[in-house]
Amino acid sequence: MKWMVPVLIVALSLSLVFGCTKTKTVPTGGSPESLPWTSGDVTFFSKEEEVQKPFTTLGNIYYMDPGEYKRMRFIDVVPKLIEKAKTLGANGIIIDIREPVVSGWYERGIEISGRAIKY
């Protein structure tokens, strides 16, 4: 019976260590979670220095979805951001703010603020 306590401690420790492990696969060419990233003919940047070309700011882009009954990710709003950028005639977006919006115990929305640019 005394041998069970150390075995249980080791088993519990291993389950805690391996139970909290995350893995992530990123396709070649990047992903929306690691900027800069290109989708179609619009490129997303996280800061001005990443553009590496002269550019002009055409306008500001703002998008917020509280994520009712769902969990929003950046990839979920990319089509809407591209649509807003194309409306302004932009081929790039510098993302200034990308924050989750907590709207419930499960629901996670997203708030995006950035600048539409032409380079």
| 62 Cβ neighbours under 8 A, 6+ residues apart | 112, 113, 114
Q: Which residue has the higher pLDDT, 72 or 34?
A: 72
Task: Give the mean pLDDT of the chain.
Answer: 81
pLDDT(88) > 60? yes
Tell me the whole-structure pTM to 2 decimals: 0.67
Return the beta strands (E) in the chain as ranges: 37-39, 42-45, 56-65, 92-102, 108-118
45 near 93, Cβ under 8 Å? yes
Q: How many other C-beta atoms lie within 10 A of the C-beta of residue 105?
A: 5
Confidence at residue 112, expressed as pLDDT on a 0 to 100 scale: 93
pLDDT(14) > 80? no
Collapse the DSSP code of 90 into the 3-class scheme (helix H, G, I; strand E, B; otherwise coil) and give the result. Answer: coil
